[in-house]
Amino acid sequence: MSKVAGKTYPQVETRLEADHVRAFAEAIGADPQAGVPPTYAAVYALFSTAVQLYGDEDAAVDFQHLLHSEQEFSWTRHPEVGETVLARGRVEEDVERRNLRFLTYATSVDSGGEPLCSSRMVNVIRG
């Protein structure tokens, strides 16, 4: 049963605010002077678009039984503090195997019309 395979969501804009990036770097133990930590992509690529999927009634994601199983980010380049990026999420796969639902969500992030980053998240939801 595939509920939402192939579905795309509206683009989400995120400005990488200096204070927020610094707080994130401090929380993970990265150097706050070094710019935007790579996994700040969790904020500008992943969570910004995942909330669209999780809030989608058609997708009917059972968040209580959801596990983040795999994550991949790739970067053409890393964003800088103060930059504004645009992220678009797409359901790459939505399949059931052995009473588990595998939901793969891909997000592409652009800045100034050029690709910047892509994210691929695999969620496993117990049935």
Partner 1 sequence: MKEPQPHTWEVTREQIRAYAEASGDRNPIHLDDDAARAAGLPGVIAHGMLGMAQLSNFVVGWTGDHRRLRRLRCRFSAMIVPGDRITFSGRIAGERDGLVELELEAQNQKGERVLTKGLAEVTAS
| 46 contact partners, CB below 8 Å, separation of at least 6 | 71, 107, 119, 121
By CB under 8 A, name the one of 18, 28, 60, 95 that touches partner 1: 28
Contacts (CB under 8 A) with partner 1, residues 32-91: 34-39, 42-43, 46-47, 64, 67-75, 77-78
Please answer whether residues 121 and 57 qualify as being in contact, where contact means their C-beta atoms are separated by less than 8 angstroms: no
What Å distances lie between residue 21 and 58, 78, 115, CA to CA? 33, 13, 21
Report CA Rg, the chain: 15
Task: Mark the segment that binds partner 1 (CB under 8 A) among 2-10, 16-24, 88-96, 99-107.
Answer: 16-24
By CB under 8 A, name the one of 24, 87, 105, 109 that touches partner 1: 24
Which spans of this chain sit near partner 1 (rule: CB under 8 A)? 20, 23-24, 26-30, 34-39, 42-43, 46-47, 64, 67-75, 77-78
